[in-house]
Amino acid sequence: MLLATGVVLLMSLLSMAIFGVKVAGLTLPHDAASDDVIVTTEEVLDIVAPLTQARTQMWIDGGLEGMDAAELALETVHDDLLHHGEIRGVEIKLTDMVLTQIDSNTVGIEAELGVSDGEAMLSYDVEFTVAV
């Protein structure tokens, strides 16, 4: 009888210890004050237009026509953003990309930027022009 009581007591202490460890470790993998999605969105918005412009000019200098160069530039920027997001642990995507020839020297680009880290997601409409 005493042995059975000891086993029950030991099991209850063990279960309380496991519960305590689980509760204590709840915030370890994710910092609730983390603002990765907001910071990443700001960084992408700051760089996407100038980077697309630079790559468009690079492709034009390589011999492509303006609209083709802008399309290829936007595709490579999108691929780099995907890869950069994987490294940072944040998913970055440009979706619904539409390129419009405004005039002979300008291409308008519209897209939806989506940034997510598994806990939060932010969508932002991106609109800029590129000189061709």
pLDDT tens, 13-58? 767 666 565 555 554 554 555 688 899 999 999 999 999 999 999 9
Mind giving me the DSSP string for the chain?
A: -HHHHHHHHHHHHHHHHHHHHHHHTTTSS--TT--HHHHHHHHHHHHHHHHHHHHHHHHHHTT--HHHHHHHHHHHHHHHHHHHHHHHT-EEEEEEEEEEEEETTEEEEEEEEEEE-SS-EEEEEEEEEEE-
Range of 58's domain? Answer: 34-131
pLDDT at 111: 97
Residue 3 lies in a domain: no
Is residue 105, in this structure, part of any structural domain at all? Answer: yes
pLDDT in tens, 115-125: 998 888 999 99
Domain presence at residue 112: yes
Question: Each residue of 60-85: pLDDT tens digit?
Answer: 999 999 999 999 999 999 999 999 88
Identify whether 1 is part of a domain: no
Task: Tell me: pLDDT of 105 over 60.
Answer: yes
Q: Does 92 map to a domain? A: yes
Residue 15 falls inside a structural domain: no
pTM score, whole prediction: 0.73
Number of domains in the chain: 1
Residue at 2 is within a domain = no
Q: Is residue 27 part of a domain?
A: no
